[in-house]
């Protein structure tokens, strides 16, 4: 699959990336601000996510309902999300409505007004969002895991903030935060669809004229805690026990990231994986078990999550640790590695058939690497990973000193769980 990515930097510093997809009938547009949870102070925790909500709540030209109707009323889709290091606003519609999408997103990004009544209303909405996540044991386990992996660091805080921190944020805080971070040097526009790059640049050269130059934010680097395996248990009356495990890894620019990706695939990213086969198919310990990667500029993690009966937790934990030890002591076979490579490459390339996934690829590439990654080069890098490299990454990452464990369920005995892990 060949994609011709184009990139233009405006005089202000804003970057515009696009890929022309002549066979498509839709166009997707993304606005990326290089600001997220890891840039927040303790008192600001949750402000990036709160601000994301507020950009939908009214501009000089549109109220909240008119913003959504401007996109949904033409058969389009509008959404946003906040991560540890960026915030993204994106929309998709038929290509005939490209101009309308650009206008609505630019209006939100540049001219949101933050009405006080909307701030108070949204404060309650986010409060309910925080409580909703607490009521979802698997989500709560993930939040506890991040806190365990990155204690006393912005990366260990919830992206939504806490009930306490969001209660203190005021209109002036949002205005100052937007002014400081939603600037040209910290903004990337991505567009995918049947449009030439020149038209995309012309559209945003006009719409972004008033975006100030500004500068990129700084953040506190993550450091590997010098501690034995940490276990967090939240006792809750649930039918299942929800397990989240994470091992500290390296940053996304590390050359070993492709070996780590294949290690994750082999362990638990699909139904053919070792953990899925051993724990679900052979033992019936759980319905869900999976592995995934966290990739940040200066840090990362390999995570494993599962939901199972409390009575099976000890056996499941010990079997997981046994499988992790096995891949450290014996490199994967040629057939297993081939299947993992084909899966990782296939998922990536199939995803890039979508205009939405294309804008995500460009935005995340630009924010993470300062350039658009070539899918062909990524494919070659994945295909070049050897069994020895996967084993070496496993030995490096899957060490008990790098482990954090979070459990949400009826268990009350963290010491017992620590002994299972140590044993």
**Does 1 have pLDDT greater than 50?**
no
How far, in Å, CA of 232 to CA of 417, rounded?
10
pLDDT digits (tens, 9 = 90+) for 301-321: 999 999 999 999 999 999 999
Kindly list the structural domains of the chain, giving each domain's residue range(s) and its CATH number in brackets, ordered by start.
5-207 (3.30.830.10), 230-422 (3.30.830.10)
**Could you tell me the end-to-end alpha-carbon distance of the chain, in angstroms, rounded to an integer?**
48
Categorize the per-residue pLDDT at 228 as very low, low, confident or very high, splitting at 50, 70 and 90: low
How far, in Å, CA of 79 to CA of 191, rounded?
15
Q: Work out the percent of the chain whose per-residue pLDDT is above 90.
A: 90
Tokens encoding 79: 């959404």
pLDDT digits (tens, 9 = 90+) for 324-338: 999 999 999 999 999
Could you tell me the CA-to-CA distances from 23 to 99, 101, 191, 335, 355 in Å, in that order?
19, 20, 15, 36, 11
Categorize the per-residue pLDDT at 416 as very low, low, confident or very high, splitting at 50, 70 and 90: confident
pTM above 0.85, yes or no: yes
**Does 218 have pLDDT greater than 50?**
yes
Q: What is the residue whose two structure tokens read 């390339």?
A: 349
How far, in Å, CA of 240 to CA of 409, rounded?
6
pLDDT digits (tens, 9 = 90+) for 113-150: 999 999 999 999 999 999 999 999 999 999 999 999 99
Tokens encoding 376: 């062909």
Tokens encoding 295: 């990739």
pLDDT digits (tens, 9 = 90+) for 370-405: 999 999 999 999 999 999 999 999 999 998 889 999
| CB-based contact 55:46 (threshold 8 Å) | no
Q: What is the largest CA-CA distance in the chain?
A: 64
74 CB contacts (<8 Å, ≥6 apart)? 93, 94, 97, 100
Categorize the per-residue pLDDT at 3 as very low, low, confident or very high, splitting at 50, 70 and 90: low
Q: Work out the percent of the chain whose per-residue pLDDT is above 70.
A: 98
Q: Give me the chain's average pLDDT, please.
A: 95
How much is the pLDDT for 423?
Answer: 63
How much is the pLDDT for 279?
Answer: 97
344 CB contacts (<8 Å, ≥6 apart)? 261, 262, 265, 382
Would you say the C-alpha torsion 390, 396, 399, 405 has a positive or negative sign?
negative
Q: Which of 74, 117, 98 is nearest to 18 (CA)?
A: 98
Q: What is the mean pLDDT of residues 242-260?
A: 96
pLDDT digits (tens, 9 = 90+) for 41-75: 999 999 999 999 999 999 999 999 999 999 999 99
How far, in Å, CA of 81 to CA of 147, rounded?
20
How much is the pLDDT for 421?
Answer: 80
| CB-based contact 379:345 (threshold 8 Å) | yes
How far, in Å, CA of 359 to CA of 362, rounded?
5
How much is the pLDDT for 226?
Answer: 67
Categorize the per-residue pLDDT at 98 as very low, low, confident or very high, splitting at 50, 70 and 90: very high
pLDDT digits (tens, 9 = 90+) for 11-40: 999 999 999 999 999 999 999 999 999 999
Tokens encoding 277: 């086969």
How far, in Å, CA of 65 to CA of 70, rounded?
9
Tokens encoding 419: 């002994």
Categorize the per-residue pLDDT at 224 as very low, low, confident or very high, splitting at 50, 70 and 90: confident
Categorize the per-residue pLDDT at 412 as very low, low, confident or very high, splitting at 50, 70 and 90: confident
Tokens encoding 174: 């949002």
Q: Which residues are catalytic?
A: 52
Q: What is the residue whose two structure tokens read 């017992």?
A: 416
| CB-based contact 417:233 (threshold 8 Å) | yes
pLDDT digits (tens, 9 = 90+) for 344-372: 999 999 999 999 999 999 999 999 999 99
185 CB contacts (<8 Å, ≥6 apart)? 12, 13, 14, 213, 214, 215, 216
DSSP secondary structure, 190-239, as one string: EEEES--HHHHHHHHHHHTTT-----PPP-PPP----SS-EEEEEE---S
| CB-based contact 246:149 (threshold 8 Å) | yes
Give the H or E element holding residue 142. Answer: helix 137-149
69 CB contacts (<8 Å, ≥6 apart)? none
Q: What is the mean pLDDT of residues 223-246?
A: 86
Q: What is the mean pLDDT of residues 213-234?
A: 85
Give the H or E element holding residue 35. Answer: none
Give the H or E element holding residue 287. Answer: strand 286-295
How much is the pLDDT for 411?
Answer: 78
């Amino acid at each position: 699959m060949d994609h011709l990515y184009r990139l233009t930097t405006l005089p202000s510093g804003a970057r515009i990336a696009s890929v022309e997809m002549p066979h498509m009938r839709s166009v997707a547009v993304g606005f990326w601000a290089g600001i997220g949870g890891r840039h927040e102070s303790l008192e600001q925790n949750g402000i990036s996510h709160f601000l994301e909500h507020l950009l939908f709540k009214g501009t000089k030209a549109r109220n909240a309902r008119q913003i959504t109707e401007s996109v949904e009323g033409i058969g389009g889709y509008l959404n946003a999300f906040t991560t540890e290091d960026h915030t993204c606003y994106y929309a998709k519609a038929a290509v005939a409505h490209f101009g309308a999408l650009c206008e609505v997103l630019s209006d939100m990004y540049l001219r949101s007004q933050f009405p006080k009544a909307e701030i108070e209303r949204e404060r309650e909405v986010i409060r309910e969002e925080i409580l909703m996540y607490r009521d979802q044991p698997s989500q709560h386990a993930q939040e506890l895991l991040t806190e365990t992996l990155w204690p006393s660091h912005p990366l260990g805080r919830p992206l939504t903030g806490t009930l306490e921190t969001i209660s203190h944020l005021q209109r002036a805080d949002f205005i100052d935060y937007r002014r400081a971070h939603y600037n040209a040097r910290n903004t990337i526009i991505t567009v995918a669809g049947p449009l030439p790059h020149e038209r995309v640049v012309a559209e945003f050269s006009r719409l972004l004229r008033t975006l100030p130059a500004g500068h990129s934010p700084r953040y506190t680097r993550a450091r590997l805690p010098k501690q034995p395996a940490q276990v967090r248990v939240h006792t809750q009356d649930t039918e299942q026990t929800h397990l989240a495990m994470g091992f500290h890894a390296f940053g996304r620019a590390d050359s070993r990231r492709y070996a780590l990706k294949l290690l994750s695939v082999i362990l638990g990213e699909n139904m053919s994986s070792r953990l899925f086969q051993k724990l679900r198919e052979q033992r019936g310990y759980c319905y869900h078990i999976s592995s995934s990667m966290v990739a940040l500029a200066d840090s990362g993690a390999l995570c494993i999550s599962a939901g199972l009966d409390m009575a099976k937790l000890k056996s499941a934990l010990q079997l997981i640790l046994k499988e992790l030890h096995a891949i450290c002591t014996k490199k994967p076979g040629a057939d297993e590695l081939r299947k993992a490579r084909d899966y990782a490459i296939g998922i990536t390339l199939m995803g890039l058939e979508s205009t939405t996934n294309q804008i995500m690829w460009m935005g995340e590439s630009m924010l993470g690497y300062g350039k658009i990654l070539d899918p062909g080069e990524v494919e070659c890098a994945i295909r070049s990973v050897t069994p020895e490299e996967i084993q070496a990454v496993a030995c490096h990452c899957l060490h008990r000193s790098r482990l954090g464990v979070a459990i949400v369920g009826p268990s009350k005995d963290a010491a017992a769980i620590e002994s299972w892990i140590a044993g």
